[in-house]
Chain A
Amino acid sequence: MALRQQILILYLSTSDLASNVCAWSIYDGTGKETHTSGDSDKPPYGSVLEAMKDGWRVIQLPQQFPAYPGMEYTTSFLKFEFALEKLVEV
């Protein structure tokens, strides 16, 4: 049996892993599921902590940097991006 990676990316309201999910993406390395923009209106979990309780392993915590001088009030990408994985037998 080979292992394949499923990636779940959750974007939270704050850096707290228990805070609510604001945006999400799923990339399935098993090839069984294909996800695309706008394919769901409800996040798969309410928080990163909830996903962890369902077996997802956190592989990236968003680093936190002080704002660059002059960019303190600028908004751009979603700040609190958590990457999680599951390894699935295929």
Chain B
Amino acid sequence: MTDKKYLLTSKQMAAFAADGYLRFDALVPDAINRATLKEYDEKPWPHGGGYVGTPLSKQWVGSPGIGAMLKLPQVAGIIDSLVGPEPRYDHHQVHIVPPKSPHGQIWHADAIIDTRLEHFDLQFFYFAHDTPREMGGTMILPGSHLRRVNETDIARYQNFLGQLPSTCKAGTIVFVHHGIWHCAQPNLTDNTRYMFKLRLNPTVKQVRLWNTDDINDSDIPRILGRNHGWYGWGGEDRLEVVQRIKFWRALTGDDKFDTDYWLGRLENDPQRVLQPA
């Protein structure tokens, strides 16, 4: 049982529902970061692929790098909050961008078009070394996770208002919804850039898995309604909020939740029939 103090709060979960990611800077201690980089070199486990469908707890057992990172109570608490206990390992990949790589990867969403709203997979991007902008970082597009696209269909796009490069200190992890749009960025330095990506599947219903002490916080509707800029104002942004209301209903089990009355007025279905006078 994870100590409650390591679980996400409702406000953090609302931010995840709205933005599609949660970022924790320098979360992993240096000793584990260094051990991870050593594992990238020595390859005690494969750089990609793995053991699809098996429990996460059976992976990286005894590893002082990735294994130790996964066992950190803070990391375990975040995983528990998002996908619950005993998540299923889907796949991992050590992403490597060689020195002097001038081209960014095309924008994409991983896997294939995914219509699930009730469940989601968790991916995370772990940066074991400092990643300044000239080294790239993985670019993510906040708020893109609930859009229905198929993998590289979005490759024509190059730049968005609000795009966010994961420039960070060593030990930073960005936890993302499986649907987030993202792309690796150019590495203009003389050093190789590494990023460890892991995808996890839930094995329980993803309802109220976090610390819900603040479930009624008055900031939550505002968080869910925020605008990331790249889908405009006064049109698509409202539909974006509707997606988040539906997502929040699924996450909380509260099928009446609403913000700004977007769904409430549509769900108004009066049944009272007036008798003619």
Contact = CB atoms under 8 A, between A and B. Distances in A.
Interface of A: 9, 11-14, 19-26, 34-41, 43, 73-80
Contacts, number: 94
Interface string B121-143: 00000000000000000010000
B234 A14 contact: yes
B232 A19 contact: yes
Contacts of B229: 22
Contacts of A41: 159, 163
Given A9-B156, A13-B235, A23-B157, A38 B148 contact: no
Interface of B is mostly: loop
Given A23-B157, A38-B165, 18 more contacts: A9-B156, A11-B157, A20-B232, A21-B161, A22-B161, A24-B159, A25-B156, A25-B158, A25-B159, A36-B102, A36-B104, A38-B183, A43-B159, A74-B148, A75-B231, A76-B147, A77-B149, A78-B230
A39 B153 CA distance: 19
Given A73-B243, A76-B149, A38 B161 contact: no
Contacts of A79: 235-236
B236 A37 contact: no
Given A37-B183, A38-B183, A23 B159 contact: yes
Interface residues of B, number: 36
Interface of A is mostly: loop
Nearest to A9: B156
Interface in B226-264: 229-236, 239-240, 242-243
Contacts of B139: 37-38
A14 B238 CA distance: 13
B157 A78 contact: yes
Given A13-B232, A14-B232, A39-B104, A75 B159 contact: no
